[in-house]
Amino acid sequence: SAVISQKPSRDICQRGTSLTIQCQVDSQVTMMFWYRQQPGQSLTLIATANQGSEATYESGFVIDKFPISRPNLTFSTLTVSNMSPEDSSIYLCSVEDWAADGYTFGSGTRLTVV
Amino acid sequence: GIQVEQSPPDLILQEGANSTLRCNFSDSVNNLQWFHQNPWGQLINLFYIPSGTKQNGRLSATTVATERYSLLYISSSQTTDSGVYFCAVERAQGAQKLVFGQGTRLTINP
């Protein structure tokens, strides 16, 4: 099955700054997905990233706040911009993994904004 | 969009007990997965089960697609089974993406 390396695993950031999260997959994938999990909550899809095109954002998420890059078929970044304490969450990337049946997730980035 | 409801929201059991977690969904799906989120936040894929029954050790799952529900069974619970269990589905029609339920928080006491 696909192996996803996500980093950083955790970070503590000052409000007003930005953090870029990276996901590297060990195989080529068409679509990569970014999720947010707020404290004590479930996972919510932020956006879907296709290589060579702009990401598709879910309702309530905008590109200015969560810009995404997808430069090739194995890599993507999510930036959390102009952070506030409300952005404190776990951010996870995911791919559809045909070898394993279903979706596989990275280990997540635990972000705390102070 | 599709609705995914999990029950119960919280479950506290003694080690060795058995448990059943339920997931109801509101539309036809072509993918249903059960995940376990450990205390470090990592999401572990337990089952890919859009229909039928699967077993993996002490865990098994059944999805009845025609009635739009899935069950996760945990037998002889261990403290390491503690965590949050999520059901997630991909709707058969529409955008390719997983929609998560709110989860069941399972606590196994020694």
The DSSP result for B54-95, as a single string, is EEETTEEEEEEGGGTEEEEEE-S--GGG-EEEEEEEEESSSS
In terms of CA atoms, which chain A residue is nearest residue B104?
Answer: A42
Q: What would the pLDDT profile of B27-85 be if each residue is shown by its tens digit?
A: 999 999 999 998 888 999 999 999 999 999 999 999 999 999 999 999 999 999 999 99
Q: Across residues B96-100, what is the average pLDDT?
A: 92
Query: At A98, is the pLDDT very low, low, confident or very high (cuts 50, 70, 90)?
Result: confident
Q: The tokens of B70 are what? A: 């899935």
A42, B42: Cβ pair inside 8 Å? no
pLDDT recorded at residue B91: 92
pLDDT recorded at residue B93: 85
β-partners of residue A4 are: A25
Whether B108 has a pLDDT exceeding 80, the answer reads yes
The C-alpha of B66 sits at a distance from chain A's nearest C-alpha, in angstroms, of 20
How far apart are alpha carbons B65 and A63 in whole angstroms? 36
Q: Which of A84, A65, A64, A90 is CA-nearest to residue A14?
A: A84
Residue type, B20: T
Interface test with B, best of A56, A94, A103 (most B CBs within 10 A): A103
Residue type, B56: N
pLDDT recorded at residue A99: 73
